[in-house]
Amino acid sequence: MKLSIIIPAFNEEDRIVNTLKQTFVYLEGQPYQSEVLVISDGSHDQTGPVVGRFSPPEGVSLKFLEYHPNRGKGYAVRYGMLRGQGQVIMFMDADYSVPVSAVEDGLELLEEGYHIAIASRAVAGANVIQRQSLVREISATLYTFIQNRYLGLGFPDTQCGFKLFTQSVAHDLFAQQKLDSVIFDPEILFLAKRRGYRVGQFPVEWTHDEASRIQYDSLGKSLFIFRELFRIRRLHRIKI
């Protein structure tokens, strides 16, 4: 099996339909075997039954995995990444903000010798079709600056939910992951740097979804993000 696609889902009975339709159309046209793992992060809607009504095309398997209670996006992604069986294991968001065909650019980087390929909305060639609010964009820029200085990273966009890993690297890094929240991305990239893995970036077309399940619309939620960020070095026993 060449490719495993992990899709974390929390109450995604509506958006998962288009995401799976588009993903299966794309995978049906590929010359390799693949699998799609939908990870329900304690959903209490009809996500499971909706996914269960899909019949994947030949050469593609579909698995629905669920646990309770809700643990956070980071936990859901880790849960799936450690169970992926493909030579390449990736995760993508359930809102289909990045078209699945972008996987081709990521696979090309892995074939060039990179261990990890991350989608970016902030490198040359990226196309943001629908932007976030100005306040959210400014907050994201500030967060990224602090994050990169604190963790010693140099990526202009770590939060785009579309990343590919070779199987061995995926299993190595996600087995070490400790954060269950949305801040797992920089933690994984921090661990990748420590392990000496090569990380490539590729531009994507991205559309903001106003119905995002992850909202930081209060001071408390914003402070939570920074608290999570500043836990990373401590959790991995690295002094500032």
Q: Where are the domains of the chain?
A: 3-235
Name the 3-class secondary structure at 169: helix
104: how many CB neighbours lie within 10 A of its CB? 11
Beta bridge partners of 64: 38
CA distances from 119 to 122, 127, 132, 149 (A): 9, 12, 17, 20
In the structure, what pLDDT confidence band is assigned to residue 118 with cuts at 50, 70 and 90? very high
For 203-224, how does the pLDDT look when each residue is reduced to its tens digit (9 = 90+)? 999 998 765 555 555 567 788 9
2: how many CB neighbours lie within 10 A of its CB? 14
Give dist(CA 101, CA 103) in Å, integer.
5
Mean pLDDT of 7-22: 98
For 18-50, how does the pLDDT look when each residue is reduced to its tens digit (9 = 90+)? 999 999 999 999 999 999 999 999 999 999 999
237: how many CB neighbours lie within 10 A of its CB? 6
pLDDT on residue 219: 67
Q: Is the pLDDT of residue 81 over 80?
A: yes
Q: Is the pLDDT of residue 172 over 80?
A: yes
Q: Mean pLDDT across the chain, nearest whole number?
A: 93
DSSP annotation of 3 reads: E
pTM over 0.85: yes
* Of 35, 36, 34, 40, nearest in space to 8 by CA: 40
pLDDT on residue 150: 96
Which residue type sits at 231?
R
Pick the CATH number of 3-235 from 3.90.550.10, 1.20.1280.290, 3.30.300.30, 3.40.50.10470: 3.90.550.10
